[in-house]
Structure 1
Amino acid sequence: MLKENQDTTSSAAAEADAGNIGADFALNPAASAKAHGLFEHLNSQFFNELRDDRAISGEACERIEQWLSQHHLDELNALNQLAKAHFLYEGITFSVYGDAAGTARTIPYDLIPRVMAKKQWNTVAAGCAQRVRALNLFLHDIYHQQEILQAGIVPELQVLMHEAFQPHMHQHDLKGQIYSQISGIDIIRGRQGEFYVLEDNLRTPSGVSYMLESRKISQKLMPDLCRQSNILAIEQYPQLLKEILAENSDADHPFIVVLTPGRYNSAYYEHAFLAREMDVPLVTSRDLFVDSGKVYVKTIRGRQQVDVIYRRVDDAYLDPLCFNSDSALGVPGLMSAYLQRNVVIANALGTGVADDKSIYPYVDKMIQFYLGEQAVLKNVPTYQCREKRDLDYVMANIDQLVVKEAQGSGGYGMLIGPQASKRQIDEFKAKVLAAPHLYIAQPTLDLSVCPTLTGFGVAERHIDLRPFVLSSPYRTEIVPGGLTRVAMQAGSLVVNSSQGGGIKDTWIIDSLHS
């Protein structure tokens, strides 16, 4: 779990190392061999983000390769170890739920950045913004007129019977019809470099702190290279987030808090990080109370009315009077205050119905229905196991497909057919046949790769990208970049940190000025 303070495994040496990553790492003349020709052997069948993208200035990529070639492999690995020491010192650790050892881990960081041209980023950003606009309109519609359901474009029962559908939200109006103020859209690239949306995250999307910390590390480990590369800035994200949250409120000077489940939550560091960077209180349910339909926070000066809650607590635990009565994470009466429009909760309750993997195949149609536009970013072809025809196809071709739980996350509840044993396939078949409506399947895509430092040198590893979309009634903001996640294991397609995945810095470069 992400710790409030530095992990007990960090030492004085780690603290000293973390404090000393201020300049470009000095060359070690005693090292055995430089990383010359570092990328010469990287000629696989996959699209290589650093070498195959003609939209990126050759000069920008050559500059990165040149910097890397000036360092020995053991020096580059030492830089990654300094990044790990920094993460430990800052308390950026996490635990995997269900891990009996309960050991706090640092997320693996790779110093070789993922680079994208500004021109291509503009396409990604436009596609993400378009998608989030349509999803917000979809959420407003299903809790109001339900026109898209009546038109038969999205199956009615699939929405109304969905476990994330919140009847309490029926006819509840939100300012600007914004349900998802903070959205994370997972993007992948195929064999030809084409972009696809893999998944939408509208409930409590996480990872933005890793995006920001990765940039800090890059600037500390490679300051000259960063300055020369004309990387578009992302450090404005916390201030943008605060502004967006305020714009979703009706108050003139809204009082904002970040609601966390507590320090033992796997994303606690991010909660604390964003509260600190926005300069707003980080609170738990014990700090909040409801009186006369309004939410207050306890302070040393007495109570203070809360106008906006950026919540990192799931729907089911937000209010024990309305949802899970055993929840100690929620605030009694919060839902009543929310329905009286006395407080804004971001993201809104009930957003989960729109980011379910079984709803995902309809997003292109939502964009056409609500916006009258064609989708800028494509969906991955998806088979819905609830449909007999699709189920028959999945059962016949499961060894060639990726099968996922519609409600799954973190890389769990998933089968990658080409990498699975016969026993695993047979067991997964039985699960799908027992409850087909809970599963979807997709082709095994040739995810793009990026050069990644390993203990044995530089190798290609598969990656994805999660841009973060901020929405208010007045604007949509996306900082240029996002969280690049990397599958650290050779051949793996799973980038989630809980499955051993790591992170890279994402450099959006204006190729005209690089």
Structure 2
Amino acid sequence: MKWNTYDPAPFFDEVLEDIDKPRPVAANLLKYIKSLSNEELQIRKEASQLCIEGMGVSFTVYSEGNNIDRDWPFDIIPRPISADEWEQVDKGLKQRLKALNLFINDVYNDQKIIKDGVVPGHLIDGSSNYLEACKGITPPHGVWANISGTDLVRDGEGTFRVLEDNLRVPSGVSYMIENRGVTKRTFPELFDEQSIMPVSDYPIKLYEMLASLSPRNVDAPLIAVLTPGIYNSAYFEHSFLAQEMGAQLVEGADLFVDEDDCVYMHTVNGKRMVDVIYRRVDDTFLDPEVFNKDSMLGVPGIMRSWKQGKVAIANAPGSGVADDKAVYAYVPDMIKYYLDEEAILPNVKTYLCHIEEDLQYTLDNIEELVVKPVNESGGYGILIGPRATKEEHEEFRKLIKANPRNYVSQPTLSLSTAPVVTDAGISPRHLDLRPFILQGKDCWVTKGGLTRVAMTEGSLVVNSSQGGGSKDTWIVET
């Protein structure tokens, strides 16, 4: 009952080459899973949920004005990828983030890439993420986006493609780490049979990267994780990372800028100077003196301190100028321009609605395309053409015509699938992958990432806020 009805066709499947043949990297995993009855699988599934509840792994869904905490949705069957294949992905991710950081620094300084006609200037002029307050700044090591979460998908041929770059406040890495912990408790015997690369070293690597940004040459710089507070959807992650790094978890009211323009933290023993801030607060809420004057989440004067090099902020304010789905289409050109290399990881074909030809194509073929606003995240504001109604198609046509710069479109992807455990047995579900890249003095990529799964049959929406779940990602040495 479990596998004789499992048929992922016509999609690329992460575990099966065809209906009776496992991929080499998944052979041990599949053999073991097949040895378990449906009843045993359901018992393991229930045990994993109890484990998640006991560990307090949760996320917040915003619904009709209410904040609802939910246990992290998790599927117990891991997603295996070979270490040989991952080596190329690792190189491609480092190449991409290096070029993106060169682009951001260029945009806020000389704008050579615009003057040379590689990227049109109106993309920057029309970007809500371009911050005038950041002009003329070069952060430590020339790096703006220190932490990136790059969303990858496999196409129908099994090729990894970049779906989008997340350079502002990318989230999800704590769930990647917790997924591994739950899987080890659910299938401990599988880790004895093969070499699976670790993910638990991320907090150490994050600490080392953040410490490399410190303006003071001290052995133990004070690092603070700036959170919007307990009602933020990613608060679990903020507290998790602060604890794992041994950093301070703070809110805006815990910090202040003194007359010397340094950032300090209130403590029971008096003020302590802060060297590095890992901020999980959006740009425009960071400093009420510069951006949103009503913000209670940020720190008055923090931008002044950052500009003078007296505190480091990761990711740097203004990084979001490259976190734009229209700018995304030009990343292969950036790689060629700045690095004189071809992109190792290809983009998904993207139509830019500010270009007349692409606009007309999008309007004429909207029933077959995925349409995205350029600055939204979390799966919000997206139209999936083949699954939308005629009324929704027409509504989006009007939105696109009213503001073409704000929209891009892409072909509806044949996302790869992997098996998940359902109440009825084993069933294929679509998924993506978010690896995390750290760049400070050095650059480092997680061994795998957060695999997000569309838990609804046939759905292409993997975001947890939209009903998606996740599974452990294995980079397997063979």
**Count of paired positions:** 473
Alignment-mate amino acid for residue 192 of structure 1: E
- Alpha-carbon distance between aligned partners in 2 of 1:40 and 1:61, rounded to the nearest angstrom: 19
User: Which one of the candidate residues 57, 61, 71 is aligned to 1:96?
Assistant: 61
1:95-494 pair list within 5 angstroms: 95-253=60-218, 254-291=221-258, 292-473=260-441, 475-494=442-461
| Corresponding position of 1:45 | 10
Where 1:426 maps in the other structure, the secondary structure is helix
The answer for the alignment partner of 1:15 in structure 2 is none
Contact 2:60/2:234, CA 8 A, preserved across alignment: no
Distance of aligned partners of 1:108 and 1:343 in 2 relative to their CA distance in 1, 3 Å threshold: same
User: Are the equivalent residues in 2 in contact too, given 1:38–1:65 (CA < 8 A)?
Assistant: no
Q: Structure 2: which amino acid aligns with 1:277?
A: E
TM-score by length of 2: 0.96
What is the distance in 2 between the residues matched to 1:396 and 1:256?
Answer: 51
**Inter-partner Cα distance in structure 1 for 2:50 and 2:24:** 32
CA gap 1:295/1:231 in 2 versus in 1, 3 angstroms: same
CA RMSD for the aligned pairs? 1.6
8 Å contact kept, 2:133–2:290:
no
1:104 counterpart SS class: strand
SS in 1 for 2:62: coil
* Residue 81 (structure 1) aligns with: 46
- Pairwise CA distance, 1:57: 8.8
Identity over the aligned pairs, expressed in percent? 45
Q: Which residue type is aligned with residue 384 of structure 2?
A: I
Pick the aligned partner of 1:68 from 13, 25, 33: 33
Deviations 1:7-40 (A, max 9, x none): xxxxxxxxxxxxxxxxxxxxxxxxxxxx6x6266
SS at structure 1 position matched to 2:17 = coil
1:241 to partner: Cα distance? 0.3
- Looking at structure 2, the residues matched to 87 and 332 of structure 1 have their Cα atoms a distance apart, in angstroms, of 38
In 2, distance between residues paired with 1:102 and 1:151? 47
Task: Find the residue that maps to 1:97 and give its secondary structure.
Answer: strand
SS at match of 1:266: coil
Contact 2:17–2:23 (Cα < 8 Å) also in 1 = no
- Structure 2's unaligned 5+ residue stretches are none
Counterpart of 1:239, as a letter, is I
The structure with more strand, counted as a fraction of residues: 2
CA displacement at 1:329 relative to structure 2: 0.3
Partner letter of residue 387 of structure 2? Q
Q: For residue 12 of structure 2, what is the amino acid of its counterpart?
A: F
Partners of 2:449 and 2:473 within 8 A in 1? yes
- Which deviations, in whole Å up to 9, do the C-alpha atoms of 1:239-263 show, x marking residues without a partner? 0000000112232232101000000
**2:462 matches 1:495:** yes
Q: CA deviation at 1:238?
A: 0.2
SS at match of 1:203: coil
| Contact persistence 2:8–2:428 (CA under 8 A) | no
After superposition, give the CA deviation of every residue in 1:144-199 in whole Å (9 maximum; x if it has no partner).
11000101111112113311111121111212101011001100001111111000
Gaps of 5+ in 1: 1-34
Deviation at 1:117, TM superposition (A): 0.3
CA contact (8 A) 1:39 1:451 kept: no
Provide TM-score, normalisation by structure 1: 0.89
Find the aligned partners of 1:68 and 1:369 in 2 and give their Cα distance: 47
Any conservation in 2 of the 1:260–1:282 contact (CA below 8 Å)? Answer: yes
1:296–1:303 contact (8 Å) kept in structure 2 = yes
- 2: CA distance between counterparts of 1:101 and 1:304? 36
Distance 2:291 2:162 in 1: 32
Query: After TM superposition, which residue ranges in structure 1, 4 or more long, deviate above 4 angstroms?
Result: 56-60
| In 1, Cα distance between equivalents of 2:24 and 2:89 | 23
**SS of the counterpart of 1:498?**
helix
Contact 1:218 1:226 in 2 (8 A): no
- In 1: Cα distance, 2:384 partner to 2:144 partner: 33
Please tell me whether the aligned partners of residues 174 and 241 of structure 2 are also in contact (alpha carbons under 8 angstroms).
yes
